[in-house]
Structure 1
Amino acid sequence: MSLLSKSFILTLVTLLITLLLLPKAASYLLSSVLRSIGWSIKKKTNARREIILARVRAEEEEFRSKQAKSSPRTAAEDEDWEKVDNSALGNAGNGKPGDDEWDGIIGFFHPFCNAGGGGERVLWEAVRATQKRWPKATCVVYTGDHDVSKAAMLERVNTRFNIQLHPPTVVLLYLSTRKYVLSSMYPYMTLLGQSLGSLIVAYDAFNLLVPDVFIDTMGYAFTLAFSKLLFPSVPTGAYVHYPTISTDMLESLDDKTGLKGVNAGAGTGWKGYAKRKYWIAFARLYGWVGGKVDVVMCNSSWTSAHIKSLWGPSRKRNNKVAYKEPTVIFPPTAVRELASSIQVDLESERKTREPTILYIAQFRPEKNHPLILRSFARFLNHRKKNQNNNSQPTPRLILIGSVRHSSPDETHIYNLRLLAHELRIRDHTTFLCDASWPTILSHLRTASVGANAMWNEHFGICVVEYQAAGLISVVHDSGGPKEDIVVDLGDGATGFHASTEEEFSAAFEAALALPEEEKVAMRLRARKSAQRFTEEEFWEKWIGEVEKLIGMRKEQK
């Protein structure tokens, strides 16, 4: 054993003994050391901060110069921004107009900002709302997408989500350590490995730039606690899409049906016992981490309930006077655009709608595409046995989703294509990877049914898109789609719930077999329900929460 290894082990053992025997003294010592490291990082990055801000000012001047020579923005764009401004100003929390002159830096921690999923839509809508509320602020996104320039990234955001951003005040800082949050790095104890790995990535981010406000929009809560320990004056915010651990995950270990996620039934034997103990211990650690977050936002009622349970006790202890429960901010969806561009009435039902089932979801295992493929195959087989349906067009299944290239996603979609071939539904199934927004819009206009098969989907932006486009939803009977979206608001059903292959198959058949008048009535009820999830609703609530963070930052100075 080398001298260096012996020294490291001795230091580690000494630290552990100190923590056990003198917890308060060790905590104070550790806190002091981390603050010293934070002070050093901030001092070291001050020069880069000035360079970044100078570059932002230069780009702003160049942008305005080009804008003056070109045509002004369209009336529709101006109307969008006016609505953001109207909802934001005067929302400072004290009834007085807010200060839109704040020119600090807001750091968004989102290492996979080019993934093209619902989480990325939230990120970029958050950046858009922040830009309009605080036009002089700089929005820094910490990303690991080295192969994408800022111009290409913003173009993709516009193409995929129809979100137009103000380029000068968007800054991408490229991380060199993103691999440490990949699940493939940790074949065992993946949750803990990724969480600790996120600290390495966060350290990388802070060494690029220390922001004035730090917000995690991807689910790496450990980075927020790390930020608070290094930089106590930097307010932290979390937009939680999905709790890293939950009581539902623990319950899934005892599931014998195989329907509750990728860990269903994994609680048997000594390995299952060890996994359960490990998850319980991790949940306690996760709860402690959540206690360090200043402002917590959740994307659904389901997520909020779990975060209250996990983070609530620790946050109450740390903020006995100022404690506030998580704010539910539903993810933004292009409800208005979909409603205005897609017709829902008897005429469109007869001329435009086709017997097509649409599933919009990233091509990842947790989205459970195999369940939809098997359910569709069962539905087609049952349909073939019904002689009365032979004269009608054969229904189609269209799967649309983003794929993280050079990742397991590519293998996953290859296996899905093989499964479609084995189920003999290949001729009736279409896979579309990384489709543009106009392509998605086209399929939303012509499809009849929208599906979602993920167990405990945290929210389900695609389900809201289905509703806004007038599709009849068939969703998993759990999570956000069940609790928040596909609900009866008093007028009648807005879709169907299912859990098993048999239930999904029956729901597809029931949805497509509805009489025209009933189909149109359900589509209109769904569209009305979708009005709860507009971009404007998101902007207003997002700005209100970020206002709190900026207020904390001002108080620190």
Structure 2
Amino acid sequence: MIGQSFGSIYLSWEALCKFTPLYYFDTSGYAFTYPLAWLFGCKVISYTHYPTISLDMISRVRDRSSMYNNDAYISKSGWLSQCKLLYYRVFSWMYGFVGSFTQLAMVNSSWTQSHIEKLWRIPHCTKRVYPPCDTSGLQVLPLERASETPIFVSVAQFRPEKAHPLQLEALSLAIKKLGGDFPRPKLQFVGSCRNKADEERLQNLQDKAIELNIKQFVEFHKNVTYRDLMRLLGGAIAGMHSMVDEHFGISVVEYMAAGAIPIAHNSAGPKMDIVLEEDGQQTGYLCWNVEEYADAILKVIRMSEIERLKMAAAARRRAGRFSEQKFYEDFKAAIRSIIKPLS
């Protein structure tokens, strides 16, 4: 992280030497360039999607918790964990120092805001502006579902942090608990593969479905077109999400806009911003572990059509809070205090 950060400083130096703007607007997370832009006389504005380092990352290393961003090889070693913890603490101090040069720090969620405010320590300059979610095409899909088979969809790249195996385990458990009076659900994975590692991850998921004896209840759709994505979302009664600390969660918003009840991880964006009540009506389910995900799957399958339509309609209304128009309004309101109108 430190190497990339210092590399961004050199890139910024080259750019600022060729042209020095009045406003320096960063949307890529290169916080280490902010002091340099400030020295060049720029007003620094940032839009942060995800902090380069978070307090959660530090706590996982301290607790020696193995995760996608804390390899088991390191978490099992006390000495390596202490070295990584020292590295993270030094980097977090540096990240906090450079971030404090921002005159306006826009963030994409409450979770990101809480971390940025603690790290950069400029809460008076920090504004939450939800990202634009173009769900206009999904909002017009019918809430009714034609298929008798209850379809659950999971939209995410086949990356380790998306925790797809948990969804397979939850489906397997739900099917075991499901009574004979209810139809068996089908889980459709929809995602893209960036490289060979993602391809191997997809193959491992297919193998796991066979291992859990649920192959006939699972489908995999790789690198689909947006038209096909809309079709799949429009046929699902619920959408699965299992990433821990997803900073926002646009896929969850897309589920809700399409009328698919979200079953999301009980952390970060889905918990703090998205899967909240709308006009007193529940909009989805938040889960921690396999058992809770399985229970949520069962609740969706067992609920009456009237109950499902009511929750789906509330979820769709909630998704409207993250529209492109809302982003434009909040963005303009945030920058109004720092950008002077042309005379």
TM-score (norm 1): 0.56
**Aligned partner of 2:172: which letter?**
A
What secondary structure is seen at the aligned counterpart in 2 of 1:551? coil
Q: Check if 1:462 corresponds to 2:251.
A: yes
Alignment of 1:343-354 (within 5 A): 343-344=142-143, 348-349=144-145, 351=146, 354=149
Residue 372 of structure 1 corresponds to 167
The counterpart of 2:81, out of the listed 254, 272, 284, is 272
What does residue 26 of structure 1 align with? none
Q: Does 1:513 align with 2:302?
A: yes
User: How many Å separate the matches in 1 of 2:192 and 2:113?
Assistant: 27
User: Which structure 2 residue ranges, 5 or more long, are not aligned?
Assistant: none
Match of 2:30 among 196, 220, 226: 220
Deviation of residue 490 (structure 1)? 4.8
Would you say 1:246 and 2:246 are equivalent positions?
Answer: no
1:396 alignment counterpart: 186
Deviation of the 1:239 alpha carbon: 1.2
Q: Who is 1:110 aligned against?
A: none
Report the Cα distance in structure 2 between the residues aligned to 1:492 and 1:257, rounded to whole angstroms: 36
CA 203–415 in structure 1, closer or farther in 2 if over 3 Å, else same: farther
Q: Which moved more, 1:413-422 or 1:498-507?
A: 413-422
Q: SS at 2:138's partner residue?
A: helix
Q: Deviations over 1:434-487 (max 9, x none)?
A: 322222111121101111111111011111111111111111011010011111
Equivalent residue, structure 1, for 2:128: 328
- How far is the alpha carbon of 1:364 from its aligned partner? 1.8
Q: How far has the Cα of 1:336 moved from its partner? A: 3.6
- For 1:97-152, what per-residue CA distance to the aligned partner results, in whole angstroms no more than 9, with x for missing partners? xxxxxxxxxxxxxxxxxxxxxxxxxxxxxxxxxxxxxxxxxxxxxxxxxxxxxxxx
* Closer, same or farther: CA 249–342 of 1 in aligned 2, 3 Å: same
Deviations 1:475-521 (A, max 9, x none): 10110100111112452321111111121122111112111111111
1:290 aligns with 2:99: yes
Contact in 1 for aligned 2:129/2:327 (Cα 8 Å): yes
Specify the SS of the correspondent of 1:398. strand
Cα distance in 1 for residues equivalent to 2:46 and 2:193:
25
Task: Specify whether residues 401 and 207 from structure 1 end up closer, same or farther in structure 2 by C-alpha distance, changes over 3 A only.
Answer: farther
Contact 2:278–2:315, Cα closer than 8 Å, also in 1: no
State the one-letter code of the partner of 1:343: P
TM-score calculated relative to the size of structure 2: 0.87
Counterpart in 2 of 1:124? none
Is structure 2 residue 32 aligned with structure 1 residue 234? no
Shift, 1:408, TM fit = 4.1
Q: 2:238 aligns with which of 434, 440, 449?
A: 449
Instruction: Note if 1:482 corresponds to 2:282.
Output: no
Q: Is the 8 A contact 1:308 1:325 kept in 2?
A: no
Q: Which residue of 2 aligns with 1:361?
A: 156
In the other structure, the counterpart of 2:70 is: 263
Q: Could you say which residue in structure 1 is the equivalent of 2:9?
A: 199
Residue type at the aligned position of 2:168:
L
Q: Is the 8 A contact 2:62 2:85 kept in 1?
A: no
Greater Rg by CA: 1
By how many angstroms is 1:208 displaced? 8.0
Q: 1:457 to 1:220 in 2, by over 3 A?
A: same
2 CA distance for matches of 1:203 and 1:378? 55
Residue identity opposite 2:187 in structure 1:
L
Q: 1:268 to 1:527 in 2, by over 3 A?
A: same
Q: Is the 8 A contact 2:9 2:32 kept in 1?
A: yes
Cα gap change, 1:256/1:228 in structure 2, threshold over 3 Å: closer, same or farther?
closer
Paired AA for residue 378 in structure 1:
L
Aligned position for 1:387 = 180
Call closer, same or farther: CA 1:505–1:207 in 2, change over 3 Å: farther
The higher relative CO (CA closer than 8 Å, separation ≥ 6) is in 2
CA distance 1:264–1:467, shift in 2 (3 Å): farther
1:250 partner amino acid: I
Q: Which moved more, 1:299-308 or 1:269-278?
A: 269-278
Structure-2 change in CA distance of 1:423 and 1:301 (3 Å): same
Question: Which whole-Å CA distance do the structure 2 matches of 1:382 and 1:435 have between them?
Answer: 32
Return the offset for 1:267: 7.9
1:449–1:512 contact (8 Å) kept in structure 2: no
- Structure that is richer in helix per residue: 1
Q: How many residues align?
A: 341
Q: Per-residue CA shift, 1:265-310, capped at 9, x if unaligned?
A: 8386122222222212111111011012222111111111111111
Provide the secondary structure at the position in 2 that maps to 1:492. Answer: coil
1:542 aligns with one of 322, 331, 340: 331
Inter-partner Cα distance in structure 1 for 2:197 and 2:23: 33
Distance 1:254 1:324, change over 3 A: closer
Task: State the alpha-carbon separation in 2 of the partners of residues 432 and 509 from structure 1.
Answer: 24
CA root-mean-square deviation: 2.9
Contact 1:353 1:448 in 2 (8 A): no
Which residue is equivalent to 2:287? 498
Deviations 1:145-195 (A, max 9, x none): xxxxxxxxxxxxxxxxxxxxxxxxxxxxxxxxxxxxxxxxxxxxxx32333
Taking a change above 3 Å as real, the CA distance of residues 236 and 416 of structure 1, as seen in their structure-2 partners, is farther
Deviation of 1:198 (Å): 3.4
The alignment status of 1:523 with 2:322, answered yes or no, reads no
Post-superposition shift, 1:257?
7.6
Deviation at 1:207, TM superposition (A): 7.7
**Contact conserved, 2:236 with 2:260, CA < 8 A, in 1?**
yes
Does the CA-based 8 Å contact 2:103-2:125 persist in structure 1? no
Instruction: From the superposition, tell whether residues 533 and 285 of structure 1 become closer, same or farther in structure 2 (CA, over 3 Å).
Output: same
Aligned position for 1:17: none
- Structure 2 counterpart of 1:401, one-letter code: G
Indicate how the Cα distance of structure 1 residues 375 and 270 shifts in structure 2: closer, same or farther if over 3 A, else same.
Answer: same
Residues of 1 paired with 2:263 and 2:313: CA distance? 16
CA distance in structure 2 between the aligned counterparts of 1:421 and 1:442, rounded to whole angstroms: 26
**% of aligned pairs identical?**
34
* Equivalent residue runs for 1:164-203 within 5 Å: 191-202=1-12
